[in-house]
Amino acid sequence: MAARITAPGFDVVNRAGRAGWHEGSQAGRKAGTLNGISGTAAVKLKRANSCLLPTKRQLTPQRVSIDIDCQIGTQIEIIPCKICGDKSSGIHYGVITCEGCKGFFRRSQQSNAAYSCPRQKNCLIDRTSRNRCQHCRLQKCLAVGMSRDAVKFGRMSKKQRDSLYAEVQKHRLQQQQRDHQQQPGEAEPLTPSYGLSANGLTELHDDLSGYMDGHTPDGSKPDSAVSSFYLDIQPSPDQSGLDINGIKPEPICDFAPGSGFFPYCSFTNGETSPTVSMAELEHLAQNISKSHMETCQYLREELQQMTWQAFLQEEVESYQSKPREVMWQLCAIKITEAIQYVVEFAKRIDGFMELCQNDQIVLLKAGSLEVVFVRMCRAFDSQNNTVYFDGKYAGPDVFKSLGCDDLISSVFEFGKNLCSMHLSEDEIALFSAFVLMSADRSWLQEKVKVEKLQQKIQLALQHVLQKNHREDGILTKLICKVSTLRALCSRHTEKLTAFKAIYPDIVRAHFPPLYKELFGSDFEQSMPVDG
C-alpha cells in the first residue's frame, strides 16, 4: 500500500490536458494569497488553465516546488481512485480520488448525514457499485485517509512528493509491463500474489503466505515488505509459449447448439455458439494443459511415489484427538493453499484475463473449491481409499474430529469415482477449466462472453478426449460430475456456517483471510446486484 499523503494546499487537476486549483489554503485565502502566490497571480493561473512554469527571472525555490507539484499532478491520473478504482483526477481531501468520490465525500461532510448499510457493512465499493451503499462508501473514504482537515495545509513536503512520485512510477511501470505482456513470453514463477479483488474490492491486511506459517506455496519466505495489499487479479503473460503464426489454416467448424455437439449443457443464446478452427482448439488445449502443469502443487509422479507413506494408527489417533476448531483451522489452511494454485491456473488460461474483473471474481469465488476437488483425484489412492494430506496419505478417519463425517465420506466417494476414470493430465486440466468457466454462475455481468469461453473449452476437451481415443460417453460422465461438485461445495458451506455459529471468534481470528473471503456466509450479500 502506498504511504498516506497529506494533501497539498491545492489540488492539481488534470482533465483533458487542463490543470486547475482546488480547495486552496484557508489561511492563504484570508491573507489574499494562494500558498504564497498573490491573489492576482492565482486568478491568472486559473484563467491560463496551466501549471505555473518558472522563468529564468522567477526561478525561486518556492516556484520550483510548485512546478514539481504540478508535474506530479499531471501524472496522478495513472493512479486509480483509492475508493472505487475509477480514473483519478487529483488529490482530494488528502487522498487520490476520482471526481465522483471527491464530490461524495464533500457532500457527506457538509450535510453530516448518518448513513446506514442495508447489508452487513462490508459492501463492495467499485466503479459500478459505489452508489449503492453510502455508508460503506463513506467508511472506505475515511479508512484510506480522506479528511476535511487535509485541505487546510500548504504544499506537499519533499517527503510527500517523493512518496507520490514513487507511486506514479510504480503504476507507470505496471502499465508498461502489461503492455509487454501482450507478447508471448516465458511462464512466470508461481507467487503468492493471487487475487480475487479488483481496484480495492477486498483489502486483506496480511500477505497470503502469512497465515501459512510464514511461507509461500513454494516454501520460500515471503517478502517482508509486503505487509498489506489488495488481492488484485493482475494479468499474467501468455503462458502458452506457442507460436501459431505459422500454423496452416484449417477448415472452420461452426458448432451450433442445434447441431448436437453440446448435448450436455444448456446455453442461453444460439448466437454465442463458437466458430473455431482445429488449430485454435489445439492451441487452447495446449495452453490450458501447460497452465495446469505449471500450477499443480505436486507432480503426479511425486504423489505416486508417496502412496506408501500412510498415517500410522497412532498418528491417526493424534488427529482424531485434536480439538474440533484446531482441525477445522488446519483444513482451512490446506484448502486455501490449494486454492492459491487454482487462482494462478485461472489467470494463465487464454481468455480469462479478458473477462471483466467482476466476472473473474465471481468465477473464482464460485468455482475454485470445485477445481480443488477435481484436482484431488491426482492425489487419491483408490486402492487404499486415502488422499494426500499434511505430508502423508490419509483415510476418512483422520478427519473424524471435524464433526462432518457425511461431507468427508462424500468427498472421498467423489475422489474415488473420478480417479476410476483414469484421466490424463490434459483431461484433468481441461475439465478443471470447464468447471471453472461455468456460464450459469449468478452475478455474471458478461454472461455471453463467459459462455463463449466455456463452449470453446468444452470443444477443446472433446477434441482431446477423441485424440486420446477415450470411450464413448466419457464427456457425458464428466459433465454429469458438475452437479456432484456443486453439491459438495454447498454441503461444505453448510458445515462451515454451522461451525462459524459455534466458533465465530476462531473463524474471525485464525482462519485464512482468503478462505473467509471465498466462503463467508455474507458472500451473497456482498456481491453486486443488477440494476
What is the domain-level CATH number for residue 352?
A: 1.10.565.10
Dihedral sign for Cα 107, 110, 115, 121, please: positive
In a domain, 249, yes or no: no
Domain boundary among 152, 177, 202: 177
Note whether 171 and 312 are same-domain residues.
Answer: no
Listed in order, strand segments (DSSP E) in 5-107 are 13-15, 18-20, 33-34, 37-38, 90-92, 95-97
Residue 377 cell numbers, joined: 483425484
Type and span of the H or E element at 380: strand 380-381
The angle, 0 to 180 degrees and rounded to 10, between the axes of the packed helices 278-294 and 324-347 is 140
Q: How, if at all, do strands 95-97 and 275-277 pair?
A: unpaired
CATH code of residue 83: 3.30.50.10
Please check whether residues 295 and 412 belong to one and the same domain: yes
CA distance 281 to 462: 10
Q: What is the total count of domains within the chain?
A: 2
Is there a domain that residue 290 lies in?
Answer: yes
- Residue 465 belongs to what domain range? 278-519
Q: Is the pLDDT of residue 9 over 50?
A: no
Burial 500-519 (b: 16+ CB within 10 A, else e): beebeebbeeebbbbbbbbb
160-205 tens-digit pLDDT: 666 666 776 776 776 666 666 544 444 444 433 333 443 333 332 2
Q: Is residue 119 part of a domain?
A: yes
271 burial level (CB within 10 Å; 0-12, 13-18, 19+): exposed
Listed range (264-268, 325-329, 415-419, 501-505) with the worst mean pLDDT:
264-268
Residue that terminates a domain, selected from 177, 207, 239:
177
Cβ count within 10 A of residue 406: 9
Do 363 and 490 lie in one domain? The reply is: yes
Asked if residue 148 belongs to a domain, the reply is yes
Q: Answer yes or no: do 168 and 293 share one domain.
A: no
Strand partners, 145: none
Do 157 and 301 fall into the same domain?
A: no
Q: Are 76 and 168 in contact (CB under 8 A)?
A: yes
> What is the rounded CA–CA span in Å between residue 305 and residue 307?
6
In a domain, 504, yes or no: yes
- Residue 434 falls inside a structural domain: yes
C-alpha cell at 126: 467499485
Query: Within a domain: residue 1?
Result: no
For range 309-335, the mean pLDDT: 96
Lowest mean pLDDT among 38-42, 131-135, 325-329, 484-488: 38-42
**CA–CA separation, 259 vs 262, rounded Å?**
8
Indicate if 379 and 505 belong to the same structural domain: yes
Cα 460 to Cα 260, 437, 482, distances in angstroms: 16, 13, 17
User: Who wins on pLDDT, 190 or 289?
Assistant: 289
How would you class 307 by CB atoms within 10 Å of its CB: exposed for 0-12, middle for 13-18, buried for 19 or more? middle
Q: Is 501 helix (H, G, I), strand (E, B) or coil?
A: helix
Per DSSP, the three-state class of 19 is: strand
Nearest by Cα to 330 from 220, 213, 196? 213
| pLDDT above 60 for 323 | yes
| Cα gap 439→481, rounded to integer Å | 16
Report the pLDDT value the prediction gives residue 414, as an integer from 0 to 100: 97
Q: Does 446 score more than 50 pLDDT?
A: yes
> Do residues 342 and 487 share a domain?
yes
At 393 the pLDDT is: 96
Q: Write down the mean pLDDT value for the chain.
A: 72
User: Which of 147, 177, 207 lies at the terminal end of a domain, its last residue?
Assistant: 177
Is residue 374 very low, low, confident or very high in pLDDT (cuts 50, 70, 90)? very high
Three-state DSSP at 253 gives strand
The answer to whether residue 79 sits within a structural domain is yes
